[in-house]
Every structure is written in structure tokens, then in C-alpha cells.
Chains A and B, each alone.
Chain A
Amino acid sequence: MVESIRAVIGRDLRLAMRRQADIVAAMFFFIIVVSLFPLGVGPEAAQLRRLAPGVLWVAALLATMLSLPRLFADDHRDGTLEQLALAPQPLALIVLGKVIAHWLVAGLPLVLLAPLLGIQFDLAGDALAVLTLSLLIGTPALSGIGAIGAALTLGVRGGGVLLSLLVLPLYIPVLIFGAGSVDATLSGLGPQAHLSLLGALALGGVFFAPWPTAAALRVALE
């Protein structure tokens, strides 16, 4: 079981590494969106500090969403997905591997970039640490929940816009607790409650999402 997950992760990572431009593009999308906000709302440090958690988290949601179509589209186009669906291993397990690989490629870079962008928003040390930690805990949930949307919109007309319509409402709890944890740190309440709930969401999302995703993939492959 672990071997098949590892094999899927390894394969997806190898494919992603051959197309590094995609990863870098998503990272720069994140950076650009975040950098637009000070230009839009003005450079006062106090205001930026208040906006930082929300802005970084919303940008992370959008950046994750942009990279979601790649999750299954290439495999669908060249027929790999059908072979994976026929494999003796449960499809949900293969999906779990792909979700983990997606997080390593699309989620982890955002976590690593976040402290740098947080400094631009004049966040203090502890808020920076909580921001990074919350993204580290929360982004797996984004990959998991997003996989459902990616599978449902596979090969569908206007897939990209539709994907955002389906996935973004489901991302709301992650956004609330993710940004809330940083807010709580800034106001001196302590982030524990938010981070625990975020961890619960991430575990639940990554654990349960592969089943509906696998069901949706089978519908798409019919």
C-alpha cells in the first residue's frame, strides 16, 4: 500500500520536475498577487499588518487553485488515468498519492515563500512563525479538497472558471481558521485553537477527499 502511494508520488514529482516552469509560475503568481495589495490599499505599515494574514491566505487559495487543473488533466489526456483506474490498487489510494505530490509541488513552495512576503507586510517574528505554520498545516487541506473539484471538472467545458466556482466556497473554513490563527496571534490571544481546528480540517480533508475524488474520476472516465 505504502509502496504504491510512494510510486505515484515519485512519478508525479519526476513529471513536475521536468516542467519546473509551471511550479515557478504558480509561485510568482502568489508573489505578484500579494504584492498588488500594498499598491492598492496604501503603504501604511499598521494597515498592512492588519491585512497581511487575510491577503496571504487568499493569495495562497488562488495560487493552489490555479495549479489544480494539472492534477489530473495531463494523465487524462494521454490515457494514464484510465490505466491507473484499472490498476489493482484502489483508485482512492492513487489519488491520495497524487494529492500528496500536488501539495509538495504547489503547497510547500507557498509555505516557504510566506515568511518572506510576511516581512514585506511588516509582520513581527511570532506572527510570521504562526503564518508559516498555519500555511504548513492548512495547504494539505487545500490540495485534498481541491482534488475533488479537479476531478469533477475533468474534461468539462470552461473547466478553469467552473473549478473556482466549485472549490472556493469549500475552502472557506480553511481560510477562516488559517487567517484567524495569525489574527489571534496579532491580538495576543494565542493561535492554538485556530491551529488545532486547521489541523483537524487538514486531516479530515486529506483523509476523506480521495473517495469522492475517485468516484468523480470514474464518472469522468465512463
Chain B
Amino acid sequence: MSKPVINWFRYASPLTFYPLAGRLIPWFWTLAAIFGVLGLTIGFLLAPTDAQQGEGYRIIFLHVPASWMSMFIYLVMAFWAAIGLAFNFRLSGMMASALAPTGALFAFLSLWTGALWGKPMWGTWWVWDARLTSELILLFLYIGFIALQASIDDPRRADKAGAILALVGVVNVPIIYFSVQWWNTLHQGASVSLTRAPSMARLMLWGMLLCTLACWMYSIAIALMRVRTIMLERERHTDWVRELLADKE
């Protein structure tokens, strides 16, 4: 068999991925810090005050990135789940379970900051708006995934069961999203909508994008840290983990 030019599967094994992840983590933390400082500086110091919402709108710099990340991480999780089912890599299942808590955290943050934003702007903590409801359901899906994995002792079985659930969820997310949207719009016109004025100040947009990048880098860094811990825990019977731990002591 001829050797391929690039070995795509070189880092698919915990043995090779563990040190790589260790080298990458500081970089992602640094990037997260840089983007975070830049984004928050623009967001809190430079961006103009909103004409209608005053200073209260500034929670957008956490709210929107958190909502985007919560949806994006679910897709990434389902992607790793599908890879894991198709190629039977151990690492893919570990990645999926490492991503789930971060995704759940962002879904929760998005709901929480949304409530904080909603109280001064709409005068209520919660409305059954289509977007709020579908974000809540996304949180439920994350919780279901984490609970399923937590209650299965055999990690390989937990990976596969979780992968099936994540894929079923990803097929269902659009259905749920549209059903919730129709549910609300069939009854009455939305009394409150999250849509902003189309002409958003350029600085606001930049601040939001930088904050999103910061959240993104943070997610990668924390997921890599978590996946390293999972690797050590699951591979503790192997030689490389023993050697690694022996070196540390």
C-alpha cells in the first residue's frame, strides 16, 4: 500500500492527539483573551449608545455570541457523532461528549442574558416567542444528551448511544424550530421581536463579531481541555497514559 501524502487519520488516536491538544490549548486561550478584550473594549467603551434602547442594549455583546455558539456547537457535536459512528474512532465520541457541556452552558447563557435584556426592554423576563422557545428546547436536547451519556457506564456504548441521539436531534432541530415559529405566528403576530434595525452601527457589529470569535476560541480551548481529561480517564489502562503519569510524579 502506497503511503498517502497527508495522513488524515494521524491525529485520530488519543496517543497522538493528547500532546497536540496540549500544545494548542495555550494558543486558543490567548486568542480568546485577545478577541475578548478587543470585543469588550469596542462594545463597552467605543460603540455608540443605542438611540432607542440606551445603554441596556450592550448585553448583546454576550447574548448574540452565546446564542450563535449554542446552535453551532450542537452541529459540531453532531458532526463528530456522525464521524464516530461512521469510522468508529474513539476520539470522535470523546469530542462529542467534551463539547456538550459547553454547548449547554452557552444555551443557558443565551436564555439568561436574554431574560436580563428582556426585562428592561420588553418589561418581562420571558415571552413565548418562537426564538426563545426554540433556544429553550435546544437546552433540553443538550441536557438529554448529557444525561444519556452519564447514565451509561460503558464509555463506548455511551458514545454510540449519544451519537444516535445527537443525529436524531439534528434532524429534529429544524422541524422543531419551524413548528415553534408557526405555532406562534399562526395565533397572533409577534408582539415583540428580536429583529434589530437593519442598519446596525458598524462598531457594534465589529464588537459583536469579535466577541463571537472570543467565545469560539474559548469553546475550542475548553473542549480540548475537557477532551484531554476524558482521554486520560478512559485510556488509563494503556501504556502511554501510565508513562505520562509516571513522568509527572
Contacts and interface: CB of A to CB of B under 8 A. Distances in A.
Interface of A: 148, 152-153, 156-159, 162, 165-166, 168-170, 172-173, 176-177, 180, 183-184, 197, 201, 208, 212, 215-216, 219-220, 222
B176 A173 contact: yes
Contacts of A157: 151-153
B164 A216 contact: yes
Contacts of A201: 175
A180 B180 CA distance: 11
Contact of A212 (B152, B168, B183, B186): B168
Contacts of A159: 151
A222 B148 contact: no
* Majority SS at the chain A contact face: helix
B141 interface: yes
A136 B180 CA distance: 22
B167 to A, nearest CB: 7
Interface in B141-185: 141, 143-144, 147-148, 151-153, 156-157, 160-161, 164-165, 167-169, 171-172, 175-176, 179-180, 182-183
B140 interface: yes
Nearest to B143: A165
A215 B152 contact: no
A219 B157 contact: yes
A20 to B, nearest CB: 32
A177 B140 contact: no
B116 interface: no
B144 A166 contact: yes
A212 B172 CA distance: 13
A156 B160 CA distance: 14
Contacts of A177: 179
Contact of A169 (B144, B160, B167): B144
B161 A152 contact: yes
Nearest to A194: B186
A166 B141 CA distance: 7
A219 B168 CA distance: 15
A205 to B, nearest CB: 10
Nearest to A183: B187
B64 interface: no
A159 B152 CA distance: 10
Contacts of A148: 164-165, 168
Given A219-B160, A219-B161, A220-B157, A165 B147 contact: yes
